[in-house]
Structure 1
Amino acid sequence: MTSEIVPGRLSVPSLSALAAFEAAARHGSFTRAAEELNLTQGAVSRQIALLEQNLGLKLFERVKKRVSLTPAGGAYAAEVRDGLSRLAAATLSAMAFRGGAGLLHLAILPTFGTRWLIPRLPRFTEAHPGVTINFSTKLVPFDFAHDAADAAIHFGLPVWPGARLHRLMGEEVVPVAAPALVARAGLKEAADLLRQPLLQQSTRPRAWANWLEQQGLPPERALMGPRFEQFAMVAQAAVAGLGVAIVPRILVEEELRSGALVIPVDRPVRGSEGYYLVYPEAKASLPAVVAFRDWLVGECEGMN
């Protein structure tokens, strides 16, 4: 296949030329790109020269044996890398249909996924052995149009333009701490917690303020404590005795059962936000999406 421009229709370079360009751009070296692709350095150089000829612009600056991307080359490399990734994902999805319902690309909240969802997945795979789930983690909402995900687990309000949402459950947040810290610091009342570092989760900046306000306490110290990206890290910091955490009860069930964490002041707070399964309208009829939706909504029945 060549990258020849054909009059009357859009010219799309060959995949071999694009793969050679992407590898060379990533490594900053034609030689290393050739090693990765099991080609000669000359073959990679010819592919890129042909690509530059067809595009009518320089993608690399060549200085002796070194190459570096031009500004146009840098912008093109990002787009080509994204396109090749999408082609790879589409190919895997198509191949997965050989096994039945296909492949589901699911974006999950990391701690919810590992603590709540994944332990329950054997029941799904037993009921739907033809569906394979690939997982990625997302901490904030994203654009389905620019992401390979077919569906996502979302926490917040039921707002996601262009997508369908199914409420799974609400959330009850409680303060937790290591038993040794509770005993040593004499944590018995809500006001006692203010004497300790308040462990923070970065995507829930108002979690402590909301809880303190519900207890009739001033929220001035609500942000006074170390901040962590995931609830799993917050929980582990609490187990280590670094302070008191405010966390969803369902995400620390194991630690509460084992006694690694205790609830010093059992005054849970429920908000208006919740967990939702969300997917774009265009994928509402995909067999894998339908199977997972029906199973997950049934699994969460009665948990709202």
Structure 2
Amino acid sequence: MIPRRLLPSIALLTSFDAVARTGSVTAAARELNLTQGAVSRHVKALEEQLGGDLFVRERLTMRLTLAGDSYVREVRDALRRISLASLNFRANPNGGTLNLAVLPLFAMRWLAPRLPAFRQAHPEIILNLVTRLDQFDFRAEPLDAAIHFGKAQWQGAECAFLRKEEVMPVCSPDLLARFGFSSAQDLRAAPLLILVSRPDAWEKWLSAEGAPAEGVHGMMFDQFGTLASAAIAGLGIALMPTFLIEEELRRGELVPALDRTSPSEDSYYLVWPPERGLHPPLARFKAWLIAECART
């Protein structure tokens, strides 16, 4: 247990953060609807509690010390977490909240259409979704879980398998008509579109098909959604998970450059920090999500 004397009050921390952001006691007091004297006393009390100066006091401004600059970053993160927890409680005081990081196109095409069934089964749970493309640290973000594509490991987190995927080279009908692909090697004559998070996907696919895989270059995209849009516009061939482009294939906006699918080496997983494993909303969502994936 951290000694009580080392835990500053929210009032002190809020005043400190406001002065650090505005560089002025006057501006901070105006923002917080307090008197200048109250804000000054809060900052001074915090410095006395911590045992050091947080600011260099100049004639018209307050400038953070090096230690103060480091401290305010931690304080802001803590205040943000407290604020989010309070908002979540206010939004759902009788149930629970689950903060989930998702992959954009997976969330839009696969998860979102199925969420009404989860909400109907568990109306007491508020599900908050944020999109994440890059790796992140659960210790640095207020997240309960994430949907991850890759291996069954994520920075010490626990994992539950969700599903695999198959990928297919797809393009616009006009591009297919122009090139008339008949083999994997033929695809090298057209522009290849590349997803930043899967930079070697084309090399792996071409190698598996017995085609030259060296020197693959092309336009790069950070999301599957923009990658698919570029392929629809005729900019090149995209290697896409088939279950995420069912609508485009059905409408004929995308067509197989070659009618060949192959399984990806990686899979989709639900991942969560071990300390959140018994969080009731997560346990219910995990059970529902695994069952839903098993049906598709």
TM-score by length of 2: 0.90
Does 2:293 align with 1:293? no
1:273 maps to what in 2? 266
Of residues 94, 97, 108, the one that matches 1:114 is 108
Cα drift, residue 162 of structure 1: 4.4
Kept after mapping to 2: 8 A contact 1:194/1:221: no
Cα drift, residue 161 of structure 1: 5.6
How is 1:1-304 mapped onto 2 (pairs within 5 angstroms)?
9-95=4-90, 98-100=93-95, 102-160=96-154, 162-222=156-216, 224-303=217-296
Cα drift, residue 234 of structure 1: 1.1
Return closer, same or farther for 1:239/1:32 CA change in 2, 3 Å cut-off. Answer: farther
Secondary structure of residue in 2 paired with 1:146 = coil
Structure 1 CA distance, aligned partners of 2:13 and 2:295? 51
Structure 1 CA distance, aligned partners of 2:105 and 2:250? 17
Secondary structure of residue in 2 paired with 1:160 = coil
Cα drift, residue 268 of structure 1: 1.3
Return closer, same or farther for 1:19/1:192 CA change in 2, 3 Å cut-off. Answer: same
Matched AA of 1:60:
F
Secondary structure of residue in 2 paired with 1:210 = helix
Structure 1 CA distance, aligned partners of 2:115 and 2:144? 17
Return closer, same or farther for 1:27/1:180 CA change in 2, 3 Å cut-off. Answer: farther
Return closer, same or farther for 1:190/1:32 CA change in 2, 3 Å cut-off. Answer: farther
Kept after mapping to 2: 8 A contact 1:208/1:246: yes
Structure 2 CA distance, aligned partners of 1:95 and 1:176? 46
Cα drift, residue 95 of structure 1: 4.2
Q: Which runs of 5+ in 2 are unaligned?
A: none
Matched AA of 1:45:
S
Over residues 93-118 of structure 1, what are the superposed CA-to-partner deviations in whole Å (9 max), with x where a residue is unaligned? 44455233x10011111221122111
Cα drift, residue 50 of structure 1: 2.5
Question: What is the percentage of aligned positions where both structures have the same residue?
Answer: 48
Return closer, same or farther for 1:113/1:35 CA change in 2, 3 Å cut-off. Answer: farther
In the TM superposition, structure 1's runs of 4+ consecutive aligned residues that sit over 4 Å from their partners are 93-97
Kept after mapping to 2: 8 A contact 1:106/1:150: yes
Structure 1 CA distance, aligned partners of 2:68 and 2:294? 52
Q: Which runs of 5+ in 1 are unaligned?
A: 1-7
Return closer, same or farther for 1:252/1:33 CA change in 2, 3 Å cut-off. Answer: farther
Matched AA of 2:136:
F
Structure 1 CA distance, aligned partners of 2:270 and 2:142? 16
Cα drift, residue 64 of structure 1: 3.0
Cα RMSD (Å): 2.1
Structure 1 CA distance, aligned partners of 2:170 and 2:23? 49
Over residues 101-151 of structure 1, what are the superposed CA-to-partner deviations in whole Å (9 max), with x where a residue is unaligned? x10011111221122111211111111111101112222443333331111
